[in-house]
Structure 1
Amino acid sequence: MKNFLRTTAAAALFLGLMSFSSAARAQAVALQQQGNGALVQKTDRTVCMTADLTGLKQCVNMTQVNYVVTPSGNQTSVWKGTVPAELRPATTLVKEGTWQEGGKTYSARSTTAPSGEISLTLHYKGNGKK
């Protein structure tokens, strides 16, 4: 019985390490290095973006279409989506502000067109320079 438990524990540990290694390798492949040293991640992650970022009355589902990290630490995340008809503005709505997450402050700019097309760009200046 003691040997069975040891064998089972060792097998579980091995399988856990293998799955962690595969996940890390998959994430590393998702980021592609560009010629200037920036890492670019193409994603299809969807999040309901808060009204604080969009200027609309409620959150809107948006998909992250691009994420870039430069060697200097700058980060840019671009999100796009479609606003439900009942939330669409009569004229183009632009909302600028800041967003804090993970101990970082991002500048945020959201643009919503009367057609319902919405885009949001979050930018973090890692080195503090423009």
Structure 2
Amino acid sequence: MSENETAQQEGTLGMIDISTTAVTTIAGQAINQCYGVVGMANKNLANGIANLLSRDSKRGIAVAIEDGVITIDVYVIVEYGVRIRAVAESIQHTVKFHVEKALNMPVNAVNVYVQGLRMSKENN
């Protein structure tokens, strides 16, 4: 899927195109609201090391739009000591809710890939 993909909807006044970049922005804002997320990770881990990107980075989010259905892959680094499954489920629910609410389009899946753990500054 390329970054230039769009979802098209027929409105009463004409066509509406929604780019994957727009979906990525919405998903990124939703992820920043989730407890336990330290940052985004690069999805292309050639050397197996999870490089921490800034919290507002869109490089850790991949969006695919096919037949008006959205699939989102999220690559995150979570805080050490939190319940990883609970954080991942929170990300899934939050991203799905915000994207569907903003775009009025179904989100088929939000796949969460935990690329690493980081100690919080308070624990160091």
Q: TM-score, normalised by structure 2?
A: 0.34
Higher strand share: 1
Name which structure has the greater RCO, CA cutoff 8 Å, separation 6+: 2
Q: TM-score, normalised by structure 1?
A: 0.33
Higher CA-based Rg: 1
